Amino acid sequence: MPRSPVLAILDRADPFSARTDEPPFRGRDMRALSAITGSEASLVAIARDNEAAPKRRYAAAEALVEGTFSKWRSSAAANRGVAQALAMAMRNDSSHNRWGLPGEFTGRLGDHFLSLSHGVDEALTPLLDEQAELHIMGSEAATLQAQAHFRIADLAAYLLSRYHGLPWKTHIGIAQRDRATARLRGLLKKVSRS
C-alpha cells in the first residue's frame, strides 16, 4: 500500500539533524503539505500518535508550528499533542540551540513551544528530571554550556519559567539549579490549582 503524500513529505525530512537555525522542510515541501487536502488534520494525528516513529512525530510538529496551518491552534488536544511531540524531540535532539540556553535565549523551537496554549506544563514537567546534558554548538553558547553543564532539566525549567512569566536566575552550580527547580515545581503546583 503506498504511503500517503503527507507521510512521504514528512519522511524526507530529518528534523533531528537539520541545521540548528532552520526548519527541516524546504519551502516547496511546506507548500506541498499546505496544498494536500486534510494535511493539517493528518499532521496533528501524527504529532499526537505515541506509537509513531519519533522522527515522524517531530517532523509533524515542526510542520505545524512552522507552516501556515492555523486551525490546530484553537484545539486544546492538538496543542497538547504538539507539546508532547516537541518535548519528546527536545529529549532526543542532536542540537539544543534550536530550543534555547537557560538564562540566555530561547531558540526557534523554544519560542514555538512557548506559543502553545495548552499542554506545555504536562509536556515539560517530566523533563525536569532529565539529567542528560544539552548539546550546544557555537562559540559563545558552547562556552557557556561548557562552564555550566546545563541539562535538559534546566532547559525545561527555564522554558516553564518563561511560559508562566516567573522570575529566572541563572545558576552555574547544578545543586543550586536543582533547588531552583524544586521551588519551580512548588510554584507550578500553586498555578495549576488556581
Distances (CA, A) of 32 to 44, 86, 117: 16, 23, 27
Domain boundaries, the chain: 1-85, 95-194
Q: Name the percent of the chain lying above pLDDT 90.
A: 80
Task: Determine the straight-line distance between the first and last CA of the chain, rounded to whole angstroms.
Answer: 50
Q: Are 121 and 83 in contact (CB under 8 A)?
A: no
C-alpha–C-alpha distance, residues 71 and 20, integer Å: 27
Can you give the pLDDT at residue 23? 84
Q: What is the chain's length?
A: 194
pLDDT tens digits, 71-93: 999 999 999 999 999 999 999 99
Q: In the structure, what pLDDT confidence band is assigned to residue 108 with cuts at 50, 70 and 90? A: very high
Can you give the pLDDT at residue 194? 54
Cell matching residue 170: 541563572
pLDDT tens digits, 34-62: 999 999 999 999 999 999 999 999 999 99
Distances (CA, A) of 28 to 14, 24, 34, 47, 148: 16, 12, 10, 21, 40
pLDDT tens digits, 134-169: 999 887 899 999 999 999 999 999 999 999 998 888
